[in-house]
Structure formats: structure tokens, C-alpha cells
Amino acid sequence: MISVDVRSVTKTWGETLAVDDVSFAVRKGDLVVLLGPSGCGKSTMLRLIAGLEEPAAGSIEIEGRDVRGLTGSARGVAMVFQSYALFPHLDVADNITFGLSVRGIPRQEMARRLDKIAALLGLEALLRRKPAQLSGGQQQRVALGRALIAEAPVCLLDEPLSNLDAQLRQELRREIRALQQRLGITMIYVTHDQTEAMSMADRVILMRAGRIEQNGTPADLYERPATLFTARFVGAAPMSLLDLDDGPSGAVVAGTTGPALFLGSGRGRVLGLRPEDVTVDIANRPGRFHVAVTAVEYLGAEALVTCMIGERPIMARTRGGSAPAVGATVGLVWDASAGHVFDAASGARLAIETGAGPLSTRLHTTANQGSTRA
Amino acid sequence: MPERRRPQLNVHVQGWLLALPAVVLLAAFTHVPAVATVIDSFFSTPHGRRPAAFVGLDQYRTMMADPIFRLALKNNLLYALITVPVSIGLALAMALWVKGSIQGRTALRLAFFTPTILPMVAAANIWLFFYTPDYGLLNQVLRALGFSSVNWLGSPATALPALMALTIWKEAGFFMVFFLAALQQVSPVLYEAARMENASGWLVFRRITWPLVMPTTLFVAINALINAFRVVDQVIAMTGGGPNNATTLLLYYVFQVAFNFWDSAYAAALSTVLLLVLAIVAFLQFFLLDRKIHYR
């Protein structure tokens, strides 16, 4: 069942298009992340769903009802603001029950629901404190409590964790996701942090310049990025992007003479490779790119090794303990089917099967051959 | 050759030396006169070759029996009771109005602030023209509407309210600036959070705006109250305390006693009472109201 249905929504600020003909649907009980760099229109999209802004064109349906002209609770949505927006002069209990008191809910009912929410979020001991007496994480919980107590079917969160330190962020990420699944509410969550998006979302909607770049599950975005932009944006370590050129027997990495990667033209195309798909091979066997290591980023369990192929850097992931030294010459190899090919001009993914050509099989390492679809 | 250490002044002495100019000014023009006034109030007024003699609480006993003092105190309390809340209410209303993004906002702000720029005596003269019997602005309007002319400053019933109107007009614009600053400090996202709950305008004002501008209201209220007990310019310029002492306020009475009747000791006793009133006002506001106010 569809909980939030956004249809061809457009929003302009003067001359600029903040949201440009965006449509998507959110299933009931899903956590959908609106992801994108700052200025991509994701926060505006959230405010449009909240009713804090009205769209210039298009319509929004929440729980099967056109919500034009309604705001917030009247639409059945609650919101957690980036800066929490807690009322500084009210204590935690009054902050959480503010919405209920506005609607004139009886005192007893209010107290019952407050107890429930306080227990759910572990705020029992803090109810009489003022926001200024709380830590950032506690303030975040109060803001969440204020949104949840209304029991609105849809909860909107605008970069709720961006003001917290990394460890707390990770903790609250799990907590919010667990809460969302337990209560079965629909959440729309705005963030610019792709890790947050990938780890929490049922679906990720990646936005860019007011438009949807890609709408899919986290795995869709990671494994089959539809555009160069998605490929660059998603993934903790960025995808290595290599410009291609025409070689004598197929596409080659620009600035090199081979080996060929796939049959056909390489000019105007870009090959994308995830660091974990690239293997560093110390042994000097043929059919590999022999390159020098320019940088090693040690992360503990693993290390990111950067090398230059032609003029482009390529990253490979190795075990932390077995990373080569900077300056060492290594052989790089990857499973040909792991490559993503994009059109350089439009950024669109091309349906070129890098693992299908007869030439490419020569590139495979013995270790990787099991997974090749040759 | 070892570097010779320059003699160092004690750090406390240095500190006091730095504060000395301010301390001297403050003491010479504020603290010493205040203390001297309290002491003088226990003595008789020196006349010619007769020096001041200690008379204990005699001056205060005279005061208790003085009908003009009682009237001045009553007038002043009434004056404070009406001008303070009304000017604060008006200031807040104006601030809320010019805060919004309306057309000609800057012009409005300037218009509201203009009375503050005018010297009190100049403002008093303008209002004197409004209140003039027969051909004054107010009376012309009244007559055009078919009412009879009122001698605003000449009748005891309307003289004090007429002075209050001038004070409110002059102070509201000044206080508005403080409220405007306070309102701009309130994060707009708080209003958005309230909008999400569909809170009405009145509820938002009562539960968010009003508590958050409370520190400013307290500050403005203290200033307004102190001003209310310090009023003298417009009384001198407009009514001279009349008719029949209907507009005699405490400070004006002090002025009259000291410089028209040359009874400096009695004036000192009146000043002491005035000081006491102001001290009590400040004490009440800071220590009783303070606990209910949220400061960021």
C-alpha cells in the first residue's frame, strides 16, 4: 500500500527550480532516504511533503488523500528538524506533548502517551529538564519523541543526525531504524551522508539539481548505478572512474595501449570500478596492469591502495596487513564483469557487458574465473 | 649584564588605578550625592546664619501629613500603572507588526521610532498644540464631529491622562526596538515546529513568542517604571503640575520644593522616598519575576 505519493511536483524559488517535476511513491512502513549533495532539493522536497511549502505544480497524496492546503499534523505527518527546534523555555515533557496540548487532548491521555514515548526513548529521567540541559543526543531523542507521540502515519526527518559526533550518529542510526521497524511507521529521511542512506533505507532516492537521479534499493544504487553521478556519490570509498579510448583490439584505458577491456569503441566512455573489485597482485604475471602505488590509506581491517593508470587514479581494496608499500610496482586485476561502463557525455550507464567479450577472458585471474560469465 | 627588573606595581593597585576615573565620576555624581541626600533628610534646612540642625524623622512626619505629597504619590502610581503596561503592549504589537515581511517595512519602523528621536520638550510642545482649547487639533476634530471643545490640560480629570498619552506615544517606539531585536532572536524553525502542529496565531504568541521575549519585557518594564518615576520635563513644559496639582508627580514635587520653595531638607526627604520606591521596584522585579523567566 502506498503511504506517500508524490506526483510531478515542482517548486520554484523565484527563477530557480528547487524541485523539478519529481514523482515517487513511498510504501507504507518503508524507510525512504532522500539523498543528495547540498542544494539538490531534498530538503525542499521534504518541506513540500510536510506542507511547510506548497508546490508550484503537481500534487501530493498521503494515505490516499490529496493534502493540498493542509499543514503538518493535519496531513498526518510529523517532522524532526535538523536543529531539533525544541522550545528552549519548555521542559522535555512539555516539548514532547506540545502538539497534543495544541489539539486539546485530555491531560490523562497526554500523560499516558508521554509515559509510553519516554519509556520508548529512554527519556524518563529527563522529563523535567530544559533542552539546554541536555546533550545533543538527548535533544535528538526529545525531537524524535515530539514527532512520534502524535502517532502520525508518516514521520519526516531532516538531516536529524548531522549535528552529532560520528559514534553517536551510528548508535542513533540503528536506534531510529529499529524504532521505525517496530512501530511500523513510514519514514522519509533526508541526508547528504550516503553511509546513513545505505545502512538505514529500504529505498534510496538520489537527487541532483532538483531531479531524481536514481530511485532504488541501496543494493540497486551500489551495484547498478544508473549514472556517473550515482556511481560517484554512492559508496564509502568512491568508485574509480577511468576514461577509455579505442585500442587495436577493443576499448582500452586512455593513455595505455592495452590490454583491451571489451570489444568495441572506448572513446567517450568511462569505466567504473569499485575498489573491492580490484585485486592487487604482487606477482608479475602477464595480462595485468603493471602500475606503481602512489598512496595507501590504512583503515585497520583493510587498506585502500591508490595507483595511477594513465592519468587516472584507481583504487584497490586489500587486507590491512598486506597492503603494498608506496612506490612498489604491483599488478592490478579485476573480474571483467565487475566493471560499469558509462557514457562520458550524458553520464548514462551503457549496457555493455564487460565480461562477455572473448578478449576480456584473457584478463581474468585464475582466482576470479569462477564468477565470470564468459 | 643581567636585565634590571622594572619595579612592578601591585596588580590590585594597577587595577584600581585603571578603574579610578570611572569610580571618581560615579562616586562624585551618583553615590556621594545619594548618601548626602539621605543624611540631609534628617536635618533642617539651613537659612542664612542658621545652620542645619538634626531633626531626626521630623521631615518624614511632615511628609506623612502633606496632602500634596500624598497626591503626587497617588498620581505617580497611577501614571506608572497605566503608562508602563500600555506602552509595553503597544511596543510589542508594533514590533510584531513590523517584523513580518510587509510592504514599506523600513518606513514603518522609522515612523514608529521617530518620537524617540525628538527631545521631550519638543514633543511636549507638539502635544501642547494638539491639546490647546478651541483651535487645538483634538478639539477641532471633536468639534467637527459635533462635540463641544474640551480643555484637555486645564481640567483636573483630563490633564493627567493627557500627559500619559504623550508618554506612551514617546516610549512605545523606543521599546519597540528592543522587542524587534528580541523577536529576531527567536529561531524561525520554532515557528515552523508550531506550524507542523497547526497551532493558532494566538497560541503561538502565548506559548512561544511571549515566554521567549520575557527577558526583554522585564528589561523594558524596569526601564519604563523607572522612567515613570523620573518624569519631570513634560510636566514643566505642559502643565506646571496643575490644575490643582492634578499633574504633580513625585519628581516634579521634589523640584518645586527644592527650587521654588528652597526647602532643601524637605526635598532631600522626598528624594529619599523616591529612591526607596525605585529600589523596591527593582528588587521586586529582579528577585521575584526573575525565577519565572527563561534566559537563553
How many residues are listed for chain B in this entry? 296
Q: Say yes or no to pLDDT of B82 above 60.
A: yes
B291 contacts chain A (CB < 8 A): no
**Residue B241 CA from chain centroid, whole number:** 18
Q: Say yes or no to pLDDT of A201 above 80.
A: yes
CB contact burial B55-78 (16+ within 10 A = b; e otherwise): beebbbeebeebeebebbbebbee
The residues spanned by each domain of chain B are 68-292
| Residue with more model confidence, B284 or A213 | A213
Contacts of B187 in chain A (CB under 8 A): 83, 85
The CATH number given to A2-225 is 3.40.50.300
Average of per-residue pLDDT across A345-371: 54
CATH architecture of residue range(s) B68-292: Orthogonal Bundle (1.10)
Average of per-residue pLDDT across A9-20: 90
Q: Say yes or no to pLDDT of A356 above 50.
A: no
Q: What is the pLDDT of residue B5?
A: 65
List the grid coordinates of A364.
581474468
Count contacts between A and B (CB, < 8 Å).
57
A116-120, B126-130, B180-184, B292-296: segment of lowest average pLDDT: B292-296
| Closest residue to A85, CB basis, from B192, B198, B211 | B192
Name the residue of chain B whose CA is nearest to A74's CA: B198
B183, amino acid identity: L
Q: What is the pLDDT of residue A162?
A: 86
The CATH number given to A230-365 is 2.40.50.140
| Closest residue to A72, CB basis, from B196, B208, B212 | B196
Contact B189 A72 (CB under 8 A): no
pLDDT band at A329 (very low <50, low <70, confident <90, very high): confident
Contact A102 B198 (CB under 8 A): yes
Rounded to 5 degrees, φ, ψ at B45 are -75, 125
- Kindly report each contact of residues A226-229 with a partner whose C-beta sits within 8 Å and lies 24 or more positions away, as own/partner: A226/A348, A226/A349, A227/A342, A227/A347, A227/A348, A227/A349, A228/A270, A228/A272, A228/A342, A228/A344, A228/A347, A229/A347
How many residues are listed for chain A in this entry? 374
Q: What percent of chain B has pLDDT over 90?
A: 19
Q: Say yes or no to pLDDT of A372 above 60.
A: no
The span from the CA of A239 to the CA of A314, in Å, is 8
The span from the CA of A271 to the CA of A258, in Å, is 14
Q: Check if the beta carbon of residue B269 is closer than 8 Å to that of residue B61.
A: no
pLDDT band at A247 (very low <50, low <70, confident <90, very high): confident
| Closest residue to B195, CB basis, from A72, A83, A132 | A72
Q: What is the pLDDT of residues B11-34, one digit of tens each?
A: 888 889 999 999 999 999 988 998
Contacts of A88 in chain B (CB under 8 A): 212, 294, 296
Q: Say yes or no to pLDDT of A78 above 80.
A: yes
Q: Say yes or no to pLDDT of A345 above 60.
A: yes
A71 contacts chain B (CB < 8 A): yes
Q: What is the pLDDT of residue A369?
A: 34
Q: What is the pLDDT of residue A45?
A: 94
Contact B189 A87 (CB under 8 A): no
A129 contacts chain B (CB < 8 A): no
Q: Choose among A155, A22, A139, A154: nearest CA to A85.
A: A139
B1 contacts chain A (CB < 8 A): no
| Closest residue to A85, CB basis, from B193, B211, B296 | B193
B190 contacts chain A (CB < 8 A): yes
ipTM of the complex: 0.81
Tell me if A2-225 shares its fold with A230-365.
no
A155-159, A184-188, B259-263: segment of lowest average pLDDT: B259-263
CA-based diameter of chain A, in Å? Answer: 81
Q: Say yes or no to pLDDT of B103 above 90.
A: no
| Closest residue to A85, CB basis, from B189, B199, B212 | B189
Rounded to 5 degrees, φ, ψ at A66 are -70, 125
Q: What is the pLDDT of residues A256-293, one digit of tens each?
A: 776 777 777 888 889 899 999 988 876 666 666 788 89
Contact B198 A89 (CB under 8 A): no
pLDDT band at B3 (very low <50, low <70, confident <90, very high): low
pLDDT band at B208 (very low <50, low <70, confident <90, very high): very high
| Closest residue to B197, CB basis, from A88, A102, A132 | A102
pLDDT band at B193 (very low <50, low <70, confident <90, very high): very high
The residues spanned by each domain of chain A are 2-225, 230-365
Q: Say yes or no to pLDDT of B39 above 70.
A: yes
Average of per-residue pLDDT across B112-123: 84
Q: Check if the beta carbon of residue A43 is closer than 8 Å to that of residue A57.
A: no
Instruction: Give the Cβ contact number of residue A82 at 10 Å.
Output: 16
Average of per-residue pLDDT across A315-328: 87
Q: Check if the beta carbon of residue B173 is closer than 8 Å to that of residue B113.
A: yes
B187 contacts chain A (CB < 8 A): yes
Calculate helix-pair angle for B120-131, B156-185, nearest 10 degrees: 130
Q: Say yes or no to pLDDT of B149 above 70.
A: yes
Contacts of A78 in chain B (CB under 8 A): 196
pLDDT band at A366 (very low <50, low <70, confident <90, very high): very low
Q: Say yes or no to pLDDT of B145 above 70.
A: yes
A86-95, B46-55, B191-200: segment of lowest average pLDDT: B46-55
Average of per-residue pLDDT across B143-171: 83
Q: What is the pLDDT of residue A284?
A: 62
Contacts of B217 in chain A (CB under 8 A): none
CA distance A142 to chain B (A): 13
